[in-house]
C-alpha cells in the first residue's frame, strides 16, 4: 500500500489496478464489496417475499415471480453473498494471521474471484433476459429439467462458473496454510480463524465437485437431451437430490465454520483472555467437518430411503450437536472471568450464542427422522436454517466486518452506530424467524405463494414481515456507518482494539502490500499478545530486511472469465438456435487461449528492493 499510495493515481489507473491485481488483500476487498452487493440484492428479494406474505391471499407479486424470488433469494444469499464475504475475510486476514506475505497462487486467487463475480452477474442477468430461475435454490429434478424458458439454464451456468472459482479459492487457501506459515507458526499455533479457513477449504475441495457433477447432469439434460432425470428413458431424479445434498450439507459447514473462527477471535480479543480450550476447538472443528459429510440424507428423510438409512443419518445428524456444544461451552468459558469489553463486534458475538443455539436445537428436532415427516417442507425448516445461517453466518460476517474493518480499510467503524445496527438487526431477526417455527408447526408449507385467511397464520406472518423491515433498517444503519466512518474517522492504529492477540494486529492498518517487512518470529499461540506481555511493542523479526519477491499483476484472469462467460451464453442459447454455437466456441477460444498464454508466457514476478523497504516506517 504505502509505496503505491504515496503517488496519487487517476481513476483509470485505480480501476486497472483492481482489474489486474493479484494482491490477496485487494482481492479480499473485492470479494467483500461484491458479496455485499449481492447481499443487498438477496435482501431486497427477501423483503419482496415478506411483503407478498404480509396478509392472506395477497397479490403483490404473481405466483411465477414469487417462485423466481424464492429461488434467487436462496441462491444469491448462499453462493453470491455469504460465501464470497467469508472468502473475502479468508483472503484479507488469513495470510496476515499465519505470517505469510501472500497466498500460494495469487493468479488463481484472482481467477477465482472473477469467476465468482461474473457467475453471479450471469445468473442475475436472467432477470432481464426472459425470467429468473424458478425451481427453488435446491433445483430438484424433474421440476428443474421441466422448468420452461432459460431461467434454470442461467442457474446452471452461473453456479458452474462461481463453483469453479470457489474450488480454486479452496485449493489456494489449503496450499497457503500448508506451505507458507511464517517462522515458528506451527499448526497448533494458528489462530482459530485460520484453522477454520483451512478446514472449510477442505470441505470446499471435497464437496464442490459433487455439485459440479450434479450441475453437469442438469446441464446435459436441459441443453443436450440426455436422460439422467428422464424417467421415460430410465433416468432417476433422486440422483440429483443425492448429489445436491452431498454437496449441500457440507456447504452449510463451509459457511458456518469460518463464522465460528471469526467469533473465536472476537471472544478472545474482547475478553482479554486466551481462547478457552484451543485444542478442543480445533478438534471439534475437524469433527464437525467430518460428520458434515455423513449426514446429507437428512434432507431426504421423506424420499423413502427406508427406516435403516433414515436411522443412521438421524444418529449422525444428532452427533454433530456434540462438537458444536463443545464450541459453545468453550466460548462461554472464554468469557468466564475475562475482562469483557462490550464493543459492537462483541455484541454480535454475544447475540450469536443464543440465536445459533436455538437453530442447533431445532436442528436436532429435524434430525429425528420420524418427526421430520411432520416438519418437512414447512416454515419450521425455514425458521431452523435461518436461525443457523443468519444467526450464525450473517452475524459472523457483520461481526467480522466491525472487527477487521480497521485492518482492511484503515478506519475504525463507529461503535455507537454499530451497536444500533446490531440491536435493530437482532430484534428484527428474532421477530422475523421465531414466529415461523410456530407457523411451520401449524402446517404452513414453504414456497407457497399465498396462504388462506382464518387458519391462524395471519398474525404470525404479519409479525414476521415487520421483523424483516427491522433487519433491513439494521443493515441500512450498517451501511450509513461505513459511509460516515470513511468521511469522518481518523486513521486507525496498528492495534485499534488495544487487545489484539494475533499477528495481523502487529502490522499497520491497512497492511502494506508485502504484509511483513521482516517475517515475524512466532513464539506461541497468540504471538502478538506474548510479545506485548513481554513488554515489546512489536514482533521480533525472524530475518534481516531483504528484497521481497512479489507476483506480477495480470489482466488474464478477467479475460479467461469473460471467455467462459461468453461461452455460457452460447451454451444457454444454442438450444434455441444452433448459430449460438459460434458464440460458445468464441468464448471457449478466448478462455482456453488466455489460459495457454498464461501457461506459455514466463512470469517470474518482481522484487521490492531492500533500499525501498528501509525508507518505509514499520
Partner 1 sequence: MSQDFSLNPEIQDPAKATHEGKNKYIGLWFFLGGETVLFASLFATYLSLRNSTAGGPSSQDLFGLELVFVMTILLLTSSLTSVYAIYHMKNHDFKKMQLWFGITALLGLGFLGFEIYEFTHYITDYGFTFRSSAFGSAFYTLVGFHGGHVVFGLSWLIALMVRNAKRGLSLYNAPKYNTFAIYWHFIDVVWVFIFTVVYLMGMVS
Binding residues (CB under 8 A) for partner 1: these are 104-105, 167, 171-172, 174-175, 178-180, 205-210, 212-214, 216-217, 220-221, 224-228, 230, 232-236, 239, 242-243, 246, 547, 549, 596, 599-600, 602, 604-607
- What's the min distance (Å) between Cβ of 225 and partner 1? 5
98 or 389: CB nearest partner 1: 98
Compute φ and ψ for 411, nearest 5 degrees.
Answer: -135, 145
Shortest spacing between CB 253 and partner 1, in angstroms? 15
**Residue closer to partner 1 (CB basis): 107 or 403:** 107
How far apart (Å, rounded) are the C-alpha atoms in residues 452 and 557?
A: 51
**Beta partners for 520?**
541
Rounded CA separation 418/484 (Å): 11
What is the closest distance, in whole angstroms, from the C-beta atom of residue 595 to partner 1 in the complex?
10
CB of 539 to partner 1, least distance (A): 22
**Helix ranges, 368-414 (H):** 369-375, 379-388, 395-409
Distance CA 418, CA 483 (A): 12
Decide whether 486 or 606 has the Cβ nearer to partner 1.
606
Minimum gap (Å) between residue 174 Cβ and partner 1: 5
Residue nearer to partner 1 on the CB measure, 170 or 363? 170
Nearest to 243 by CA among 211, 207, 208: 211
Contact 424, 358 (CB under 8 A): no
Looking at the Cβ atoms of 155 and 247, the one nearer to partner 1 is 247
Instruction: For 55-67, give the DSSP string.
Output: STT--SS-HHHHH
∠ CA(79), CA(81), CA(84), 5° rounding?
75
By the 8 A CB rule, do 418 and 374 touch? Answer: no
Shortest Å distance, C-beta 178 to partner 1: 6
Q: Which is nearer to partner 1, 46 or 207 (CB)?
A: 207
Q: What is the dihedral of CA 590, 592, 593, 597, to 10 degrees?
A: 130
Pairing of strands 548-550, 606-608: antiparallel
DSSP code, position 574: T
Report the nearest approach of partner 1 to the CB of residue 143 (Å). 18
Pick the closer one to partner 1 by CB: 3 or 129: 3
Closest distance between partner 1 and the C-beta of residue 383, in Å? 31
Per-residue exposure over 519-540, b if at least 16 CB sit within 10 Å of its own CB, e if not: bbbbeebbbbbbbbeeeeeebb
Based on CB atoms, which residue is closest to partner 1, 341 or 606? 606
Amino acid at each position: 500500500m504505502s509505496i503505491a499510495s504515496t503517488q496519487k493515481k487517476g481513476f483509470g489507473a485505480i480501476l486497472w489496478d483492481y482489474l489486474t491485481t493479484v494482491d490477496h488483500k485487494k482481492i479480499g476487498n473485492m470479494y467483500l464489496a461484491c458479496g455485499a452487493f449481492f447481499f443487498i440484492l438477496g435482501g431486497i428479494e427477501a423483503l419482496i417475499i415478506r411483503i407478498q406474505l404480509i396478509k392472506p391471499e395477497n397479490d403483490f407479486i404473481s405466483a411465477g415471480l414469487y417462485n423466481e424470488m424464492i429461488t434467487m433469494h436462496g441462491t444469491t444469499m448462499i453462493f453470491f453473498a455469504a460465501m464470497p464475504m467469508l472468502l473475502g475475510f479468508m483472503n484479507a486476514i488469513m495470510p496476515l494471521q499465519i505470517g505469510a506475505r501472500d497466498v500460494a497462487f495469487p493468479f488463481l486467487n484472482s481467477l477465482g474471484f472473477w469467476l465468482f463475480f461474473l457467475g453471479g452477474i450471469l445468473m442475475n442477468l436472467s432477470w432481464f433476459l426472459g425470467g429468473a430461475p424458478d425451481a427453488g435454490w435446491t433445483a430438484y429434478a424433474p421440476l428443474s429439467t421441466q422448468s420452461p424458458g432459460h431461467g434454470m439454464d442461467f442457474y446452471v451456468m452461473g453456479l458452474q462458473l462461481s463453483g469453479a472459482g470457489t474450488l480454486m479459492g479452496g485449493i489456494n487457501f489449503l496450499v497457503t496454510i500448508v506451505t507458507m506459515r511464517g517462522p515458528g507458526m506451527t499448526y497448533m499455533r494458528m489462530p482459530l480463524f485460520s484453522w477454520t479457513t483451512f478446514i472449510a477449504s477442505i470441505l470446499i475441495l471435497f464437496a464442490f465437485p459433487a455439485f459440479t457433477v450434479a450441475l453437469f447432469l442438469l446441464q446435459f439434460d436441459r441443453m443436450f437431451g440426455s436422460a439422467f432425470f428422464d424417467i421415460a428413458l430410465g433416468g432417476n431424479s433422486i440422483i440429483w437430490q443425492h448429489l445436491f445434498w452431498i454437496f449441500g450439507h457440507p456447504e452449510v459447514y463451509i459457511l458456518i465454520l469460518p463464522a465460528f473462527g471469526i467469533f473465536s477471535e472476537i471472544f478472545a480479543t474482547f475478553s482479554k483472555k486466551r481462547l478457552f480450550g484451543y485444542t478442543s476447538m480445533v478438534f471439534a472443528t475437524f469433527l464437525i467437518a467430518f460428520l458434515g459429510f455423513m449426514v446429507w440424507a437428512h434432507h431426504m428423510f421423506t424420499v423413502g430411503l427406508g427406516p435403516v438409512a433414515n436411522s443412521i443419518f438421524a444418529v449422525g445428524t444428532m452427533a454433530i450437536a456434540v462438537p458444536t456444544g463443545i464450541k459453545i461451552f468453550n466460548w462461554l468459558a472464554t468469557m468466564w472471568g475475562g475482562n469483557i469489553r462490550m464493543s459492537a463486534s462483541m455484541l454480535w458475538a454475544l447475540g450469536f450464542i443464543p440465536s445459533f443455539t436455538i437453530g442447533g436445537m431445532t436442528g436436532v428436532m429435524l434430525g429425528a427422522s420420524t418427526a421430520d415427516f411432520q416438519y418437512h417442507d414447512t416454515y419450521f425448516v425455514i425458521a431452523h436454517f435461518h436461525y443457523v445461517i443468519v444467526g450464525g453466518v450473517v452475524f459472523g460476517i457483520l461481526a467480522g466486518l466491525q472487527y477487521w474493518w480497521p485492518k482492511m480499510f484503515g478506519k475504525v467503524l463507529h461503535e455507537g452506530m454499530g451497536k444500533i445496527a446490531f440491536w435493530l438487526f437482532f430484534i428484527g431477526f428474532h421477530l422475523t424467524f421465531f414466529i415461523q417455527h410456530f407457523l411451520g408447526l401449524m402446517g404452513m408449507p414453504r414456497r407457497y405463494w399465498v396462504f388462506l385467511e382464518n387458519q391462524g397464520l395471519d398474525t404470525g406472518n404479519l409479525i414476521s414481515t415487520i421483523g424483516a423491515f427491522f433487519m433491513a433498517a439494521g443493515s441500512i444503519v450498517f451501511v450509513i456507518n461505513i459511509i460516515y466512518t470513511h468521511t469522518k474517522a481518523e486513521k486507525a492504529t496498528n492495534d485499534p482494539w488495544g487487545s489484539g492477540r494475533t499477528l495481523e494486529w502487529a502490522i499497520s492498518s491497512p497492511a502494506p502490500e508485502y504484509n511483513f517487512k521482516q517475517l515475524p518470529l512466532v513464539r506461541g499461540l497468540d504471538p502478538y499478545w506474548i510479545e506485548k506481555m513481554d513488554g515489546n511493542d512489536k514482533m521480533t523479526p525472524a530475518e534481516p530486511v531483504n528484497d521481497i519477491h512479489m507476483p506480477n499483476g495480470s489482466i488474464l484472469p478477467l479475460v479467461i472469465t469473460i471467455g467462459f462467460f461468453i461461452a455460457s451464453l452460447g451454451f444457454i442459447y444454442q438450444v434455441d438456435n444452433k448459430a449460438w454455437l459460434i458464440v460458445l466456441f468464441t468464448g471457449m477460444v478466448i478462455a482456453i487461449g488466455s489460459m495457454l498464454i498464461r501457461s506459455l508466457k514466463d512470469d517470474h514476478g518482481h522484487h521490492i528492493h531492500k533500499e525501498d523497504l528501509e525508507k518505509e516506517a514499520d
